[in-house]
Chains A and B, each alone.
Chain A
Amino acid sequence: MKQRLCRFWAALTAALLLAGCGGSASSQEPADSVSSVPPASSVPAQPEAETQAEGSDIQVDVDLTTLSSTMVFAEVSNLLYDPIPYLGKTVRMQGEFSVDHAYTMDGELDLSKNYFYCIIEDALACCAQGLEFSLADAPAYPEGYPEEGSQITVVGTVEFFEENGFRHLRLGNALLF
């Protein structure tokens, strides 16, 4: 009996080892990475990587474009629920461009005031999260922005801003790629 069991485990181990040999640098390889600002305790620094993405020449503290979709969801959740450790850090994110418009006190659409978001999909595609950003040169909308729904890369600094007595979180002084 034990001999049969040993034989089975030997065969299984060999099969697993052979399967391991076939592995290659996976498709999950992060798209890019830029390293460098010393890490805060809960905001790890980026490792060096081989490939480069749009705007990758800019140094960032948190590069969401190098993380898997599961990790991106968790990191963005942490950023939204506990933003204090991230304040002043530069973040690079990739996602779908979205615009929200303001409303007047009468409930009318106010097209002069717009809010811009980068919508980041998660692993289940049910829990997409959006992060607001404000471009450094503040171009006029819609001329200075891409079409809604197009893929964008944004690099900006995490900051709070106040509006109507409420404090909001966004990526300020942002660059759009």
Chain B
Amino acid sequence: MSAFQTLQYYFTFPFVRYALIVGVLIALCASLFGVTLVLKRFSFIGDGLSHVAFGALAVAAVFNLTDEMLLVLPVTVIAAILLLRSGQSAKLQGDAAIAVLSVGTLAIGYLLMNLFSTSTNLSGDVCSTLFGSTSILTLTQAEVWLCVVLSVVVIALFVVFYNRIFAVTFDEAFASATGLPASRYSLLIAVVVAVIIVLAMNLVGSLLISALIIFPALSAMRLFKSFRAVTICAAVVSVVCAVAGILISILAGTPVGSTIVAVDLGVFALFALAGAVTGGVQG
């Protein structure tokens, strides 16, 4: 059987179709806001929040919650808001706050899972949550719908507030001076990023989420210089890499999350080469 025939056969499985739909949506959302985060030098906020989500997931598992999302999503959103607030305070700088939250919640999460988990396969659960080995291929129909709704909301917010996000991204102080409630938009960005993080945990696991946010934006920045061009290019790169990663992983039998990130890394290297050769495109 050729690779094409094998793929055709795999597409008859509903979970493969679900994975592609969710993968494309998450990749699109992550790349749109990834550009803003990279430009605001908040690249590692995704990492910190994903570890918070991991901690919340551990608590949900300990309490045997049937719908983990009910706990994970609010906790991650609250952490995003707290992170933004503490980032503005002089006592705890943004990067230090992210580091504290990141390692703290990761450690507490693993500790709780070890002490109280009722699962018979603890290492499997932790491995799957951290690296997203195959979570994307075991989604239920309800989870797919939740992802579709949240993704549509995230994309709509980006399109509607595009100009304001652009202003806040490049110069928050100037945006405030012109009368724009910049802190509110920064808060909106943080909340949306928290939603993306929770969604993306299914795709690449909590340790690899940063790659999904950062790589497409950085790849696009190697070639393009304008915000719009970088955003469009990042979205295309992210979706193509996610689809390619999922297809390669189901064909070759490799872990989904790390395969997607490996494809992202390869594309980044190609774009970096292209950028070095061409000197970038002024568009």
Chain A interface residues toward B at CB < 8 A: 1-2, 4-5, 8-9, 12, 23, 25-26, 28-30, 33, 39, 41-42, 44-47, 49-50, 67-71, 73-75, 77-78, 81-82, 122-124, 126-128
Question: Separation in Å of the A4 CB from the closest CB of chain B?
Answer: 5
Are B1 and A124 interface neighbours, CB within 8 A?
no
A44-B12, A70-B253, A123-B254 given as contacts; is B137 within 8 A of A4 (CB)? no
Secondary structure type dominating chain B contacts: helix
Instruction: Choose from A4, A33, A67, A82 the contact partner of B277 (Cβ within 8 Å).
Output: A4
Query: For this complex, into which size category does the number of interface residues on chain B fall?
Result: 35 or more
A47-B9, A127-B121 given as contacts; is B256 within 8 A of A42 (CB)? no
In the complex, what residues of B have CB within 8 A of residue A127's CB?
121, 124, 127-128, 133-134
Name the residue on A nearest B136 (C-beta).
A74
Question: Separation in Å of the B114 CB from the closest CB of chain A?
Answer: 15
Are B131 and A28 interface neighbours, CB within 8 A?
no
Question: Separation in Å of the B281 CB from the closest CB of chain A?
Answer: 6
Question: Separation in Å of the B185 CB from the closest CB of chain A?
Answer: 34
Name the residue on B nearest A29 (C-beta).
B1
Name the residue on B nearest A68 (C-beta).
B253
Number of A-B contacts (CB under 8 A): 112
Chain B interface residues toward A at CB < 8 A: 1-3, 5-6, 8-10, 12-16, 121, 123-124, 127-128, 131, 133-134, 137-138, 140, 249-256, 270, 274, 277-279, 281-282
Name the residue on B nearest A47 (C-beta).
B9
In the complex, what residues of A have CB within 8 A of residue B133's CB?
73, 122-124, 126-127
In the complex, what residues of B have CB within 8 A of residue A26's CB?
3, 251
Are B134 and A81 interface neighbours, CB within 8 A?
no
